[in-house]
Structure 1
Amino acid sequence: MHHGGASAKGLCYMKELLRQISEFLRSSFLVLLVLAAAGLGIYRLAKLQIVAAEEEKQQGRVSVQVYTQVIPATRGEIVDCNGEPIVSNKIGYSLILEKAYFPDDNAEGNAVIMGCVKLLKEAGYEWNDTMPITDRFPYIFVNDRENDIAEMKKNLRLNQYATAENCLDKIRSDYGIGDEYSEEEQRILAGIRYEMLLRGFSMSNVFYFSDDIDLRTVTRIKELRVTLPGINVTENAIRTVENGKVIPHEIGYVGPIYSQEEYNELKANGHDDYTLSDQVGKTGLESACEADLRGFNGKKEITVTNGEVSSTVITQEPVGGKTIQLTVNSRMQMQMQDHLENYCKLLRETDAQCRDLNAGAIVVLDTKDNAVLSMATSPTYDLSDLLEDYNAVAEQDNFPLINRATDGLYRPGSTFKPVTATAGLDSGIINSNSTFYCDTNFTYIDHTFHCTGYHESINVSSAITVSCNIFFYELGIRLGLDRLMEYERLYGLGSPLGLESGDSGGYLACPETFERLGIQWYVGELTQAAIGQSEVQVTPLQMATVASTIANNGQRWKPHLIQSYWNNIMTEQLSVKAPELSAQVAQNNADEVYPYIKAGMVGAAEVPMLPEYDLSSLPFDVAIKTGTPQSPRGTDSFVIGFAPADKPEIAFCAMLEGGKNAKCMVRGILESYAANYPRSQIARGLKKK
């Protein structure tokens, strides 16, 4: 019994054990099932998250940006009256950087820049770097560039006391220029990086790295575009001097925009599409006519998708600037320049008193409207030489950068006497028969003045012919200063005449001028003012205008250099510049004024001279008035006039600083005009002779 009970207990124990094992297995299976399900869920969730993240990432990379880039307009040309180019454009190539392709990383960008520098060095080209800091150690600011230095400190956000080293350190820091580059390379990188900043390098504004490169270099650049991202070549119009000897002062030149202030001024003058990398007129007509010459830039849209350029579309074609046709005759201009320089040379070689003579001017105007036909000045320069080495030209003797025709200021001497005569005749102080007595001496208050001759009783025409000082002393006193100055101003003296490229106004002898110059004014100065002495200062252009005004019986036309405007390729004339009447000098009765002044000037031309200079033997009358004004050089020599006297075609002024007998140049002026205008009365007259 005992054993049988034990067996039953063992059996029950086994059953219980099997049941627990079964429960455990069932529970484990459920746990595993749950774990498996959870794992699968986690896996699927993770997968979904990864996919979603990838999709989100993909969507984040799909960025589309559109930028507008400028297409530069071709600058208008400047041509002479016959259409001969003076400055034009040639097709050239420039190495540029484009922001859309250029690395954002400073280190990578610096590597691209140095790659370009290496390429240009090998090809013998320079790169654009106008930073006003010396290119070798020790680094200091460049002299005479104060405005550029101030602009640089402002651009770099440095205070006004910053040194050149401070500026370089700031650029090195901003652009990651480190010791992996040599000192020379660091300066090169800093200069180019600053130039890029100065020129507004951006998606819409390319950076011109180097200009006017040859085709061999163009090919090399294209080969390196893969390894130097951002570099490219653009075809552009490069300003070219065709004839640098033709009125170089008045033509002027182009150059880069140097400051934000200049940029803002340009945009305010009618064009809002300037970029900081543009070439603009800096002096002369290039500057004065900037708005006409520059044209209108075009535009192209660059689409950048996921960091890569996906399309480029031209949305606006550029419109080339206007071509400007001048009144100047290039051939006559060069002849006048030679004529002036040759006569100066002749006097240097034949007259001991003129041994240092090197400076003078000739102005020739068309009397119809005061169009400038030629305007010579000595010494002068070739515009090409100036652009090649400005300092070399500027440092030459006798200041060749000054155009003596428009900006040289001189006492006019006796060439001024027709102005005083006009005031006397038109105001009724004298008439054609009025006489004054000349016995060589004239006393006014407590001072005695002199005349070069003993002319006895003399009228206005004869006084002009023989240049009697005493007649004009007397007339000046009777006129009074205010009335004399009124007629001076009517003739255009004392203020600029308004030439397109600019001209000096000079000043008149009066108490205000004397006070400004720190000189004591005496009442007796009026006598000297009446004969073109005292402190009156005029330009040869002003005196040529006086001659033209007399030729036109008191009508003073505004002198001008521009004849007409054409489209860029000169196939269509857009407009012709209309003559501008500046003043009518004779306010009362011109018929009682100018015949007598002209008669006196014709008489002055009838004085015999050597055959090669003689005017009295010509088949037409010439009207002239000479002057030998006192100057710091001793005496200058002036002549003004017009021809033919009865039906004038040209008016002129010739002047020599410290020279003699400027009237001897008149014959050469007439012969040059005849050669270039064969249908003129002067040409026909000289042919008959």
Structure 2
Amino acid sequence: MSAVVAVLGARLRYMQVDEADQYRMLAEENRVSIRLIPPNRGQIFDRHGRLIAGNEQNYRVIITREDAGDVNEVLHRLQRVIPLSENDIARVEGEAKKRSAFVPLIVADRISWDEMSRVAVNAPSLPGVTPEVGQSRIYPLDTDFAHVVGYVGPVSERDLAAQEVPDPLLQIPQFQIGKVGVETWQEDRLRGHAGTRRIEVNAVGRVMRELDRMEGEAGADLHLTIDAEVQNFAQVRLGQESASVVAMDVTNGNLLAVASAPSFNPNLFVRGISYGDYAELTGNDHRPLSNKAVSGAYPPGSTFKVITGLAALEAGVIDANTTVYCPGYYDYGGRRFHCHSRWGHGHLNLDGAMGKSCDVYFYDVSQRVGIDKMAEVGRRMGLGQRHDLPMSAIIEGVVPNKAWKQASYGQDWRIGDTINASIGQGYVLASPLQLAVMTARLASGRAVKPRLIHAIGDKEVPIEEAPPLDFDPAMLRQVRHGMHTVSNTFGMTGYSSRIVDPALTMAGKSGTSQVRNISTAERASGVIGNDQLPWNRRDHALYIGFAPYDAPKVAVACVVEHGGGGSAVAAPIVRDILLRILTGGMPPLSAYPADQRGRIGTALSEMRLRDFGTLASAGGTRGRA
């Protein structure tokens, strides 16, 4: 009995003396509230540790309904302390009705330090209102990576509905998650895990003390394969054209640049884009919100001739010396299919046909090889498939065959369809990404796959060894030699955009895809030039290239929408980007033909490139090589 009495006495002393303050607070109707601590979102860097997407400190004011009581009355008191519109108050009240009472709501975001101080001083008269320091996403390279990295935004009802068991973090109003690009496709890695804190509040909702805190787990940092300086060069080089370019390391599939122009500033979306700014973006006929590099579906034009030629070589219907006569047209079944040269090219073998981009040669060869073989080779080279990358709206493209047309249109395949497909017209569609993969596979002889994530945290993502392509290496060499002829033989389509430095020689193939039909009457009187047509009726300009020819390292594909001729418009862009990557700096004038150096030197000097030295000194990089 003495022992029992001693225990009871000790317990009474503990409750009445040691814990007196706690029970006094409870008697005054204080209570404990558990709140989530949002984790720091993982940052995104380029391959050299330059910051692409980071976090910045952000002062804001929140309100918790269960602590505030009459939300409307408290908000109108707060209105006398910091600027709040009636729309702001209505918004918060609307959110309060949809959210649980314990969920904090953001009243004002990105307030000044002075405003935050005023809220803190007036806290006793503002129950449930708390000033706090949060974080917001920032994209220091703004337009350069908008299409690749994307942007974050507040959680929407649609985002919540898409998850079977939503993360509690998503219930926090204005909590930001990825909306497009890497930000959304790597959301689970970047978001991290919430922490918690237990706080004590009194009867009027004022926070009395923090009882304990358990920090969350920050999201993982990501390092991309892209070089920010090359990306900036590519973006500036495209200018305000409606265009895109993809540069790829042919040895391992690393994407070195994925540029789409014109671009946009993703910071506008993070901070809440205005109706005017959004209308300007959506109303632009150059489609700045679209990532043309991966979602643009274009007839590949004459760049597809490398596929037709390779298919014919593998099928054994031609060899390097097989010639076809081009009178300027090809007759089949009473219909005349024209070559781009009205007067024809005469007798040509594969090298000559690729160099002069003769349509008739490939019309003829396609009848020998057939569409099914051409389609099968195209898919093996990376066309007609969706490449697995953490970017939005990646298209599959179209490499048609007989079964595809029957399934898609319920129609039989026709000979004319094969003729059109042989030069990359008709039903054939490809993105710049797919054309870059095709070029990289041609150059390397291996089934390389594009990759965008270099490392997650401090752990590098393993590179899968690409198996050799299932082609006779001699046939691949023959097609590569034809591309060398295009760029380095006088009179051929790509000769004016050649690289004269023998250590950096480029091999390429131009393409010009029609977006309009040319009538018989127009052809008889003379085809109207692109410069005389409205912009949206001009041909697309395409070019694919790799370098150095003898030991390929980099492949580049470029599409300029409604740009006109591929050799005149897209080829110089590909050449400049190849030189920028291979030399590690501004393209040297010595690599250009002598008669072009003055003009090109002026153009390069006028390029307004980003100063990465200034960025680094301002803390815009993080040391990773």
Tell me if both proteins adopt one fold, taking TM over 0.5 as the criterion: yes
Q: Does 1:301 align with 2:189?
A: no
Alignment of 1:129-168 (within 5 A): none
Does the CA contact (< 8 Å) of 1:385 and 1:393 recur in 2? no
Once the two structures are TM-superposed, the CA of residue 650 in structure 1 deviates from its matched residue by 0.8
Q: Does 1:667 align with 2:575?
A: yes
Residue 379 of structure 1 is matched in structure 2 by 262
Structure 2 counterpart of 1:522, from 393, 411, 414: 414
Residue 314 of structure 2 aligns to which amino acid in structure 1?
Answer: D
Structure 1: which 5+ runs fail to align?
Answer: 1-57, 127-184, 345-357, 567-572
Greater shift after overlay, 90-99 or 449-458? Answer: 449-458
Once the two structures are TM-superposed, the CA of residue 255 in structure 1 deviates from its matched residue by 1.1
Residue 552 of structure 2 is matched in structure 1 by 648
CA distance in 1, matches of 2:357, 2:375: 21
Residue 300 of structure 1 aligns to which amino acid in structure 2?
Answer: R
- Assess, with a 3 A threshold, how the Cα gap between structure 1 residues 442 and 393 changes in structure 2: closer, same or farther: closer
Does the CA contact (< 8 Å) of 1:96 and 1:207 recur in 2? yes
Residue 202 of structure 1 aligns to which amino acid in structure 2?
Answer: A
Once the two structures are TM-superposed, the CA of residue 232 in structure 1 deviates from its matched residue by 0.8
Q: Does 1:407 align with 2:306?
A: no
CA distance in 1, matches of 2:495, 2:309: 31
Structure 1 counterpart of 2:482, from 575, 600, 618: 600
Q: Does 1:460 align with 2:360?
A: no
Q: Deviations over 1:523-542 (max 9, x none)?
A: 32101101101121111111
Structure 2 counterpart of 1:224, from 95, 116, 122: 122
Residue 244 of structure 1 aligns to which amino acid in structure 2?
Answer: D
Alignment of 1:187-266 (within 5 A): 189-198=89-98, 200-203=99-102, 205-259=103-157, 261-266=158-163
Secondary structure of residue in 2 paired with 1:229:
coil
- Assess, with a 3 A threshold, how the Cα gap between structure 1 residues 614 and 60 changes in structure 2: closer, same or farther: closer
Structure 2 counterpart of 1:472, from 344, 362, 372: 362
Secondary structure of residue in 1 paired with 2:415:
coil
Residue 534 of structure 1 aligns to which amino acid in structure 2?
Answer: G
Once the two structures are TM-superposed, the CA of residue 483 in structure 1 deviates from its matched residue by 1.8
Does the CA contact (< 8 Å) of 2:375 and 2:399 recur in 1? yes
Residue 622 of structure 1 is matched in structure 2 by 506
- Assess, with a 3 A threshold, how the Cα gap between structure 1 residues 414 and 612 changes in structure 2: closer, same or farther: closer
Residue 380 of structure 2 aligns to which amino acid in structure 1?
Answer: L
Residue 275 of structure 1 aligns to which amino acid in structure 2?
Answer: Q
RMSD: 3.3
Secondary structure of residue in 1 paired with 2:58:
strand
Structure 2 counterpart of 1:279, from 162, 176, 189: 176
Structure 2 counterpart of 1:482, from 364, 372, 378: 372
Secondary structure of residue in 2 paired with 1:338:
helix
Residue 532 of structure 1 is matched in structure 2 by 424
Greater shift after overlay, 392-401 or 286-295? Answer: 392-401
- Assess, with a 3 A threshold, how the Cα gap between structure 1 residues 374 and 306 changes in structure 2: closer, same or farther: closer
Greater shift after overlay, 575-584 or 610-619? Answer: 610-619
- Assess, with a 3 A threshold, how the Cα gap between structure 1 residues 518 and 393 changes in structure 2: closer, same or farther: farther
Secondary structure of residue in 1 paired with 2:153:
strand
Structure 2 counterpart of 1:114, from 70, 76, 83: 76
Structure 2 counterpart of 1:367, from 250, 253, 264: 250
- Assess, with a 3 A threshold, how the Cα gap between structure 1 residues 59 and 234 changes in structure 2: closer, same or farther: closer
- Assess, with a 3 A threshold, how the Cα gap between structure 1 residues 444 and 580 changes in structure 2: closer, same or farther: farther
Once the two structures are TM-superposed, the CA of residue 273 in structure 1 deviates from its matched residue by 4.8
Identity value in percent: 26
Secondary structure of residue in 2 paired with 1:336:
helix
Residue 551 of structure 1 aligns to which amino acid in structure 2?
Answer: A
CA distance in 2, matches of 1:399, 1:338: 17
Does the CA contact (< 8 Å) of 1:71 and 1:298 recur in 2? yes
Does the CA contact (< 8 Å) of 1:359 and 1:379 recur in 2? yes
Q: Deviations over 1:158-192 (max 9, x none)?
A: xxxxxxxxxxxxxxxxxxxxxxxxxxx5x654432
- Assess, with a 3 A threshold, how the Cα gap between structure 1 residues 613 and 472 changes in structure 2: closer, same or farther: closer
How many residues are paired up? 534
- Assess, with a 3 A threshold, how the Cα gap between structure 1 residues 620 and 332 changes in structure 2: closer, same or farther: closer
Q: Does 1:337 align with 2:213?
A: no
Once the two structures are TM-superposed, the CA of residue 629 in structure 1 deviates from its matched residue by 1.4
Residue 76 of structure 1 is matched in structure 2 by 42
Residue 549 of structure 2 aligns to which amino acid in structure 1?
Answer: A
CA distance in 2, matches of 1:60, 1:96: 25
Structure 2 counterpart of 1:551, from 443, 449, 452: 443
Once the two structures are TM-superposed, the CA of residue 580 in structure 1 deviates from its matched residue by 4.5
CA distance in 2, matches of 1:428, 1:92: 66
Q: Deviations over 1:410-462 (max 9, x none)?
A: 11111001111222223334333444443433222332223336444433333
CA distance in 2, matches of 1:531, 1:505: 19
Once the two structures are TM-superposed, the CA of residue 89 in structure 1 deviates from its matched residue by 0.7
Structure 2 counterpart of 1:98, from 64, 74, 79: 64
Once the two structures are TM-superposed, the CA of residue 605 in structure 1 deviates from its matched residue by 0.6
Greater shift after overlay, 506-515 or 238-247? Answer: 506-515
CA distance in 2, matches of 1:483, 1:669: 33
Once the two structures are TM-superposed, the CA of residue 648 in structure 1 deviates from its matched residue by 1.1
Once the two structures are TM-superposed, the CA of residue 66 in structure 1 deviates from its matched residue by 5.1
Does the CA contact (< 8 Å) of 1:476 and 1:526 recur in 2? yes
Does the CA contact (< 8 Å) of 1:256 and 1:279 recur in 2? yes
Residue 243 of structure 2 aligns to which amino acid in structure 1?
Answer: G
Does the CA contact (< 8 Å) of 2:151 and 2:267 recur in 1? no
Q: Does 1:658 align with 2:540?
A: no
CA distance in 1, matches of 2:338, 2:283: 42
Residue 450 of structure 2 aligns to which amino acid in structure 1?
Answer: P
- Assess, with a 3 A threshold, how the Cα gap between structure 1 residues 386 and 211 changes in structure 2: closer, same or farther: closer
- Assess, with a 3 A threshold, how the Cα gap between structure 1 residues 517 and 272 changes in structure 2: closer, same or farther: farther
Largest Rg, 1 or 2: 1
Residue 330 of structure 2 is matched in structure 1 by 442
Greater shift after overlay, 112-121 or 452-461? Answer: 452-461
Once the two structures are TM-superposed, the CA of residue 75 in structure 1 deviates from its matched residue by 0.6
Does the CA contact (< 8 Å) of 1:299 and 1:316 recur in 2? yes
